[in-house]
Structure 1
């Protein structure tokens, strides 16, 4: 069987997460998105484990099921140097054992526990309990592995089970780095709210023998990921080098020359695109034979928001989104496969935008510094934004 899986989200117990991130909201929204398997996130938090037990039915081999979708236990841990690690866990019993052994001051306060353990120690602990482990959003400038290391081996001492790309990167970018050639890539949403423009904005299409932790583990290790789906990389909020205060895009070399301080007084963060260029072995991607296609997505609600010039969470956008879902089906099908004439019968206003998304003619003002990129039909706006960052000098910085 082939199913869609988003394996990295957070619960209501994580800092900066919505109080609505509970199973009873996540599961039905996952179904509307077109996802069949979800990571629980935050599986070392005792309060969250209790909610999982009360809101799902355990059907064996690591799967906690609801009427709308199935769940597998996952957690993100912040380790030494503030690097984030993603762990896939076989059962609640093992999650509790991991929690007991994790050296952390906040493991029962925050859904994402912090520890002084390094990557090798975290990997050893995970492997001891038959878990899968790898770097979370690996290129992100605040908490990604490449923030602090030039190699995944320097962090873990060995190859991780997988490598999560993060919202600001895709396979074409990551496959310029030679050391990643034999590591499976995961693309997950890292969602902090259950709403359609967050949940499943990145996901994996995986071939499984059956719905079980054992099958999921085997499929990841045997490279049975059939496709990675994710944001167009420059929509990611750390894609370009930019100021974290005024969000001005800045040439990376100029930023370094200016000691990563912006003229507005803010801190400049290196973009994912620049960090990958520093780590890259080749100018162009070298995809290994097993690497699946990377299929770019944009949240449907974001496209509706652009067309109607209304905020994503406004009643107008949410109503238009629900009309499409109710009349056509899940979001992934609408974005990628539904015939345009069928979409037109529900909402003809959206046809030009869906067509532009599919033929890649929508234009993006790139994200950076913590601000997501923005989509529009305005090609000149995008080109001016990029050129402005290239043309900065110390004199006009």
Structure 2
């Protein structure tokens, strides 16, 4: 059976995750994306593990489904027309997984390595959790931080869950990975020692792809898997895996161990990849200073930021080149195929000239889902002619370019995600009316301002401004507006009127004090509101 699996995710018990990252919410978005198997993530957390035991039942060996009558997810934000219980029609399965953050000393250095644990059943997880709870606090985070050597973590897994397996996570991430430039190792065996032979798969992470990993002959013996590492259900499937094997834990495990079975069938069929430049640690750089560099440039300046003089964050590409022993990638025989894609909301956002989470994009996204079934079906399977006919010739052209690698790449660095674009601004302007998706018309691309050009002045309609200075302002906001202080910091939560209050302050200064104000915004949307 062919199916798509995203095996590394996080629940609402992990830090910086969506409250919708519960089983029904994850299942609903898996159906939207076209994913059949999800990792549960975070099984070490007592609260999440209790949620898993309460709501899951085994469907196939080592694969779990939501129990009949499991709660739907009415509070989860879904595209128009998608039912919160849509997962019930799609046979969504879960496999028990958890990521561990190991921080420990080895060889005179502090090591920070993330590993993913896979287990086939609840009893195995109970034994694992009982042991790990004696080492660190499992309740503090869905991805617990343990002072536990990666080699010893693997030994515990082999003892407590002998049918399980361990996969090093996002292996090139600078700060927390087995090969990370900041605190990693140079080889798998250096990290896992005498147990290195039990590792048979590695997770490439968003900032690297199979081409980059196949520059190292030392990785030839490992399968390369790809997962979203998502912190919200909408981000599922940023990367994923395609299997063509038995629909159960053990068949999937063996497909990772041996991508081609004894009959010659490709059981680990393919991986679905980010373009690695979109990952937030692909290139070197210093985000605070706006510096992004290719490895050769970093080497010339000895890894020091030319703006502030501090060390640059060395990215994934640089670290790969440091350890590589090949000038070009060499794939082991029978390696899975590779599909590099761009998430569909990002594609639609580019076509419509707006953000990927905007109402325009979500409207078009919902219409496409209703016609084509799932996001992966659109990106991987749909005929270009049908996309041209049912949506827009520009969407068809965009998907064709993505499938053939004809994209514009702006690399990420030092925690800043990169940007993958399909069309130049000139192309979007020239295509004009073709950017109409289901009656949703694209915004014209903004013309870039010349560097150093004057900021847009704030135009004040004096009569309305003067009359409305105190309207709809609470006492604290009025205090900010009227304050004679030279410096003001407004600190409040989202949606509390920070921008509105500061704009009112500017209006007062311009109209009453006849002061000239330069207003700097960080988004075009805010600038438009000021106008």
TM-score, with structure 2 as normaliser:
0.68
Q: Tell me: higher relative CO, structure 1 or 2? Use CA pairs within 8 A at least 6 residues apart.
A: 1
1:288-317: per-residue Cα shift (whole Å, max 9, x none)? 113112111110111011111211112111
User: Compared with structure 1, are the counterparts of its residues 235 and 218 closer, same or farther at alpha carbon in structure 2 (3 Å cutoff)?
Assistant: same
Residue 259 of structure 1: CA displacement?
5.0
Residue 122 of structure 1 corresponds to which residue in structure 2? Answer: 153
Residue 283 of structure 2 corresponds to which residue in structure 1? Answer: 240
Tell me, yes or no, if the aligned pair for 2:289 and 2:307 is still in contact at 8 Å. no
SS in structure 1 of the partner of residue 30 of structure 2: helix
Tell me, yes or no, if the aligned pair for 1:167 and 1:233 is still in contact at 8 Å. yes
Q: Distance in 1 between matches of 2:380 and 2:2?
A: 17
The match for 1:338 among 375, 379, 382 is 382
Residue 354 of structure 1: CA displacement?
2.1
SS in structure 2 of the partner of residue 57 of structure 1: strand
Q: Distance in 1 between matches of 2:287 and 2:227?
A: 24
User: Compared with structure 1, are the counterparts of its residues 204 and 344 closer, same or farther at alpha carbon in structure 2 (3 Å cutoff)?
Assistant: same
Q: Are 1:113 and 2:144 an aligned pair? A: yes
The match for 2:223 among 171, 177, 184 is 184
Residue 214 of structure 1 corresponds to which residue in structure 2? Answer: 250
Structure 1, unaligned stretches of length 5 or more? Answer: 381-397
Tell me, yes or no, if the aligned pair for 1:176 and 1:283 is still in contact at 8 Å. yes
Tell me, yes or no, if the aligned pair for 1:72 and 1:88 is still in contact at 8 Å. yes
User: Compared with structure 1, are the counterparts of its residues 263 and 333 closer, same or farther at alpha carbon in structure 2 (3 Å cutoff)?
Assistant: same
Residue 278 of structure 1 corresponds to which residue in structure 2? Answer: 322
User: Compared with structure 1, are the counterparts of its residues 303 and 267 closer, same or farther at alpha carbon in structure 2 (3 Å cutoff)?
Assistant: farther
Which has more radius of gyration?
Answer: 2
Q: Distance in 2 between matches of 1:36 and 1:296?
A: 19
Q: Distance in 2 between matches of 1:225 and 1:327?
A: 29
1:215-268: per-residue Cα shift (whole Å, max 9, x none)? 222222222311111111111111111213244212445546455445247762
The match for 1:296 among 340, 347, 350 is 340
The match for 1:79 among 80, 93, 102 is 102
Tell me, yes or no, if the aligned pair for 2:136 and 2:147 is still in contact at 8 Å. no
Tell me, yes or no, if the aligned pair for 2:340 and 2:402 is still in contact at 8 Å. no
Residue 83 of structure 1: CA displacement?
0.7
Q: Are 1:228 and 2:271 an aligned pair? A: yes
User: Compared with structure 1, are the counterparts of its residues 123 and 366 closer, same or farther at alpha carbon in structure 2 (3 Å cutoff)?
Assistant: same
SS in structure 1 of the partner of residue 292 of structure 2: coil
Residue 353 of structure 1: CA displacement?
2.1
1:335-362: per-residue Cα shift (whole Å, max 9, x none)? 1221123223332152332232233222
Tell me, yes or no, if the aligned pair for 1:246 and 1:266 is still in contact at 8 Å. no
Residue 357 of structure 1 corresponds to which residue in structure 2? Answer: 402
Q: Distance in 1 between matches of 2:24 and 2:306?
A: 44
Tell me, yes or no, if the aligned pair for 1:243 and 1:262 is still in contact at 8 Å. no
User: Compared with structure 1, are the counterparts of its residues 267 and 314 closer, same or farther at alpha carbon in structure 2 (3 Å cutoff)?
Assistant: farther
Q: Distance in 2 between matches of 1:356 and 1:38?
A: 28
CA RMSD of aligned residues (A): 2.0
Q: Are 1:21 and 2:21 an aligned pair? A: yes
Q: Distance in 1 between matches of 2:3 and 2:136?
A: 37
Tell me, yes or no, if the aligned pair for 1:189 and 1:199 is still in contact at 8 Å. yes
Q: Are 1:263 and 2:311 an aligned pair? A: no
Q: Distance in 1 between matches of 2:289 and 2:226?
A: 29
Residue 168 of structure 2 corresponds to which residue in structure 1? Answer: 135
Residue 490 of structure 2 corresponds to which residue in structure 1? Answer: none
Residue 152 of structure 1 corresponds to which residue in structure 2? Answer: 188
Residue 383 of structure 1 corresponds to which residue in structure 2? Answer: none
Tell me, yes or no, if the aligned pair for 1:235 and 1:373 is still in contact at 8 Å. yes
Q: Distance in 2 between matches of 1:266 and 1:70?
A: 47
Give the length in aligned residue pairs: 377
Tell me, yes or no, if the aligned pair for 2:279 and 2:412 is still in contact at 8 Å. yes
Residue 200 of structure 1 corresponds to which residue in structure 2? Answer: 237
Tell me, yes or no, if the aligned pair for 1:231 and 1:297 is still in contact at 8 Å. yes
Q: Are 1:307 and 2:351 an aligned pair? A: yes
Residue 320 of structure 1 corresponds to which residue in structure 2? Answer: 364
Residue 433 of structure 2 corresponds to which residue in structure 1? Answer: none
Tell me, yes or no, if the aligned pair for 1:245 and 1:266 is still in contact at 8 Å. no
